[in-house]
């Protein structure tokens, strides 16, 4: 089960501020609060302060002020998860007040204390703009405003920033998206994790507000999910699922619009970076939801293109070895990355705000714009650009001695055997299913040898090999069905057989009928060979000497994304399914391959 939420956005995380600060001091200059202003202060609190929107709807916020008289720079945190939960759980707000900031913690439209109807994400641009400008005009604000938050509270910042509010000086959007094509969908496939997100985090309060039957608290929803998730995740067609009709009509609106349809422009960031004039610190993790590292790098690069030539482009990106919301932890599920992996997230936020909201010269603008954690080596490295300019691409070709092999080879020798291919069966009735129920690094060695999986391994590597940057796969396929989904997963295989994934599912996925990103699907002709290109994968990992690089290919990775019915019809509108026989070609005319960005040392 994958949930599109974060322990950083909901009251379930237990923090250790002293440990995180120790780690920051020891390992990461960007995480160290040099010259940070500190004040000892009591807090003036105002509850459910009315914030009017341009259409007359009133949102409500809790206000935290330094007790001293005067005007203060302000930080805004907007959430759908309940401001009362956030204020109870997190110390970020009190730390900010102690630093001299006024803090506004607001329930977004239609959630908890705020009026209006909740339509996920669609009102956040206008409402965010109005909240920023309302804040700047208050008697207690000096006109300088920043925003912060992770996941949904990260997305609301970008949606507001592209509206260009005049008083927004800085934002820290963590673990969020850049395009609806890699957020609501990925590779042309609808993201099924929205079901769990709505069930657990949206539906309970909607039922309370509308006096509907069903779970009305997170705890009740979590208990019901345990026995309902199987039915919900396998229900077809998707648009006919009755359970969310009253609590989340926006879900069905999403299903009605294919990913390339212009309707989604309200959520598209990639053509709007020129509208953003605030300083932006992006943050994500290699095991974040797939949209996270994609968003953190795409948004960073978009800003850098718009701001080229500026002495300080005021844009940074940081990617650690974390899961969604796990930035203060050293583990990502079954893989431990050592003490330097954890950061002091609060201090990171406040140091950025001190520089770009308050104008304090604390050295942030003199640090390199990219900071990545290199897994395997388990250390941080600063870069001038993403992807690193000193990486060179090495091509590894898929090869096989037998067309019937389930285990095949991956090396740098050009394929020379005519008619060479391997094949697997993809059956949406019995899809390849993740045995783990949380995201992060897991051992997938058990998938090798299955009839619905192909694996391609290098020989044991003679020396450490670092792969850092964007990864591109070109796979030649045919099928006896009009459509298929292609998963191309990258794994690190240790000498004992442990096979760890290097990213969360999503960027390693492409629906064949979406291969040219058209609104209307382009179906396959049975038996005809097509080149499918996956170019959205990214990681930073050292494959140690003696390890092997593995490419794992399948037609599903359930339940993260909706199943391809393989009939040519959409799972959104149809329920009939059929199995498919899929061939992966690696002959001299169809050189299936993966291009890896290698860092020489």
Residue 18 has a CB neighbour count (10 Å cut-off) of: 9
CATH for 392-599, among 2.40.50.700, 3.30.300.30, 2.30.130.10, 2.60.120.260?
2.60.120.260
DSSP string, 85-98: HHHHH-SHHHHHHH
Of 484, 585, 481, 486, the C-alpha closest to 526 is: 481
Q: Please tell me whether the peptide bond between 438 and the residue prior to it is cis, using omega within 30 degrees of 0.
A: no
Low-confidence ranges of the chain (pLDDT < 70): 1-41, 68
CATH of 17-32+40-182+264-383, one of 3.40.50.2300, 3.10.20.600, 3.40.50.1820, 2.60.40.10: 3.40.50.1820
Q: 88-145 pLDDT, tens per residue?
A: 999 999 999 999 999 999 999 999 999 999 999 999 999 999 999 999 999 999 999 9
Q: Which two tokens stand for residue 218?
A: 């997170």
Q: Which residues contact 70 (CB under 8 A, 6 or more apart)?
A: none
Asked if 491 contacts 553 with a C-beta cutoff of 8 angstroms, the reply is no
Give the CA-trace dihedral at 353, 183, 394, 315, to 10 degrees: -20
3-state class (DSSP) for residue 50: strand
Asked if 470 and 423 touch (Cβ cutoff 8 Å), the reply is no
The residues assigned a catalytic role are 151, 288, 324
Q: How far apart are CA 330 and CA 515, in angstroms?
A: 37
* Domain map (residue ranges) of the chain: 17-32+40-182+264-383, 189-257, 392-599
Please compute Rg for the chain using Cα positions: 24
**CA 370 to CA 361: how far, in whole Å?**
20
Q: How many residues does the chain have?
A: 601
- The predicted-structure confidence for 347-405, as pLDDT tens digits, reads as follows 999 999 999 999 999 999 999 999 999 999 999 999 999 999 999 999 999 999 899 99
- pLDDT (0 to 100) of residue 544: 98
pLDDT of residue 12: 33
Q: Taking the model in full, what pTM does it have?
A: 0.93
What pLDDT score was predicted for residue 22?
31
pLDDT score, position 39 = 54
């Amino acid at each position: 089960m994958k949930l599109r939420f974060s322990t950083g956005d909901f009251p379930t995380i237990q923090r250790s501020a002293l440990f995180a600060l120790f780690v920051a001091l020891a390992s990461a200059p960007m995480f160290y609060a040099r010259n940070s202003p500190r004040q000892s202060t009591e807090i003036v609190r105002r509850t459910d302060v009315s914030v009017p929107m341009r259409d007359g709807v009133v949102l409500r916020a809790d206000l935290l002020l330094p007790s001293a008289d005067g005007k203060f720079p302000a930080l805004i945190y907007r959430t759908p998860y309940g401001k009362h939960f956030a204020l109870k759980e997190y110390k970020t707000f009190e730390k900010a007040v102690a630093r001299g900031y006024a803090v506004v913690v607001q329930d977004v439209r239609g959630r908890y204390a705020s009026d209006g109807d909740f339509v996920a994400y669609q009102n956040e641009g206008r409402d965010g703009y109005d909240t920023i400008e309302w804040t700047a005009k208050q008697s207690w604000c000096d006109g300088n405003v920043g925003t912060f938050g992770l996941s949904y509270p990260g997305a609301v910042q970008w949606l507001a920033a592209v509206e260009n509010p005049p008083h927004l000086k800085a934002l820290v959007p963590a673990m969020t998206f850049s395009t609806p094509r890699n957020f609501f969908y990925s590779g042309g496939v609808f993201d099924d994790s929205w079901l769990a997100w709505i069930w657990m985090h949206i539906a309970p309060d909607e039922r309370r507000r509308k006096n509907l039957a069903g779970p009305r608290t997170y705890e009740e929803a979590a208990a019901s999910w345990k026995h309902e998730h199987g039915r919900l995740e396998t229900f077809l067609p998707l648009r006919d699922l009755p359970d969310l009709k009253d609590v989340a009509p926006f879900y069905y609106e999403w299903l009605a619009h294919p990913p390339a349809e212009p309707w989604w422009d309200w959520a598209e960031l990639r053509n709007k970076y020129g509208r953003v004039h605030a300083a932006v610190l992006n943050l994500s993790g290699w095991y974040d939801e797939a949209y996270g590292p994609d968003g953190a790098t795409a948004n960073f690069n978009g800003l850098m293109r718009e701001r080229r030539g500026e002495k300080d482009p005021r844009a940074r990106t940081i990617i650690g070895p974390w899961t969604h919301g796990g930035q203060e932890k050293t583990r990502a599920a079954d893989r431990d990355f050592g003490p330097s992996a954890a950061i002091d997230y609060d201090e990171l936020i406040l140091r950025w705000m001190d520089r770009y909201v308050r104008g304090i010269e604390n050295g942030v603008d003199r640090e390199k714009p990219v900071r990545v954690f290199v897994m395997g080596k388990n250390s941080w490295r600063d870069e001038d650009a993403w992807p690193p300019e000193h990486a060179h691409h090495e091509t590894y070709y898929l090869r096989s001695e037998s067309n019937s092999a389930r285990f095949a080879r991956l090396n740098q020798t050009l394929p020379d055997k005519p008619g060479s291919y391997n094949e697997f069966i993809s059956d949406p009735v019995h899809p390849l299913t993740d045995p783990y129920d949380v995201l992060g690094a897991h051992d997938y060695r058990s998938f090798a040898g299955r009839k619905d999986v192909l694996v391609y391994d290098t020989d044991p590597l003679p020396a450490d090999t670092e792969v850092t940057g964007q990864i591109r796969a070109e796979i030649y396929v045919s099928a006896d069905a009009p459509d298929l989904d292609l998963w191309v997963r990258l794994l690190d295989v240790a000498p004992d057989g442990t096979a760890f994934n290097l990213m969360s599912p999503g960027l390693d996925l492409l629906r064949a009928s979406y291969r040219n990103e058209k609104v209307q699907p382009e179906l396959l002709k049975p038996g005809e060979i097509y080149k499918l290109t996956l170019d959205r994968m990214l990681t930073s990992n050292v494959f140690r000497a003696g390890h092997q690089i593995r490419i794992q290919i399948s037609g599903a990775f359930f339940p993260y994304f909706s199943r391809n019915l393989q009939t040519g019809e959409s799972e959104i509108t149809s329920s009939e399914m059929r199995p498919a026989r899929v061939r992966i070609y690696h002959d001299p005319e169809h050189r299936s391959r993966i291009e890896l960005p290698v860092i020489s040392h």
